[in-house]
Amino acid sequence: AFNEWGDLFTLSLLGRARQNRSQGVSMDGELKTLIEQILKKQKSLSSTISYSPSLDINTLKQSGTQLLSQHTQDCSVQKALLNHYFNATLWSLEDKARDPKALDCEIAAVKRKIDKVNQLRNDQVEVINELFLNFLPPLNQSAPIFSETPGSIIDRLSILNLKLYYTKEQLLDKSSDYAHLNTCHKRTQILNDQISDLFQGLIYLINKVSIGEMSYRPYYQLKMYNDANFNPYLSNKARPY
């Protein structure tokens, strides 16, 4: 639930959005500030978030919320950064799953954790989409549909920022040879360009949606493999074909 400040902030943005929509004026300035905060925190938190084997996957969301509350009191930013927390956790788990020294049983256990965390990540993308719907005026149903949503773009920005962090980390490794350092330097430039382009694309989308010239649909993942009603391996039911 939003705290008091968050409620007031949301109502303020929503009211101004509707006013700007009626006047044909974009409101990207305020939402741009929010998005910039999210992007800035994604970068700064990449070095803070790491998965611990002792961490209970079942309480991962609670652990992430507690951690993020130490870095920002803005509940809207927290909701977006929880997606980044899950992505960072996935990064650590994916690394572990590729350990050539790991036993088959260990890899299987990690893969099951990856499955659960990925579900949390996708769920949080939907939360971000709902969050932006609260900030924006009612969508213009007759406007052209943008294929991506704010949540999916922020998810992509999260992954790019993690790539950027770990690439920069390689540049600090004094044991690396010149060829590897040169590769990392080039990748850093590419990643910065991609982040900048994606950020501008998100601002463009929000701006166009705010004035009714573009719309998007909050697509739902509708994942099936974690649902016993759809996955026969979870329900011990035979497939109907």
pLDDT score at 217: 81
pLDDT score at 181: 93
pLDDT score at 50: 64
Q: Indicate the pTM of the whole model.
A: 0.80
pLDDT score at 53: 63
pLDDT score at 157: 95
pLDDT score at 14: 42
pLDDT tens string, the chain, 241 residues long: the values are 223 333 333 333 444 444 444 444 344 466 777 788 888 888 888 877 766 666 677 788 888 888 888 888 888 888 889 999 999 999 989 998 999 999 999 999 999 999 999 999 999 999 999 888 888 888 898 999 988 999 999 999 999 999 999 999 999 988 989 999 999 999 999 999 999 999 999 989 998 998 999 998 877 777 777 777 777 777 776 665 5
- DSSP secondary structure of the chain: ---HHHHHHHHHHHHHHHHHHHHT---HHHHHHHHHHHHHHHHHHTTT----TTS-GGGHHHHHHHHHHTT---HHHHHHHHHHHHHHHHHHHHHHHT-TTS-HHHHHHHHHHHHHHHHHHHHHHHHHHHHHHHHSPPP-TTSPEESS-HHHHHHHHHHHHHHHHHHHHHHT-TTS-HHHHHHHHHHHHHHHHHHHHHHHHHHHHHHHHHTTS-EE--------TT-TTT-HHHHT-----
pLDDT score at 212: 92
pLDDT score at 4: 32
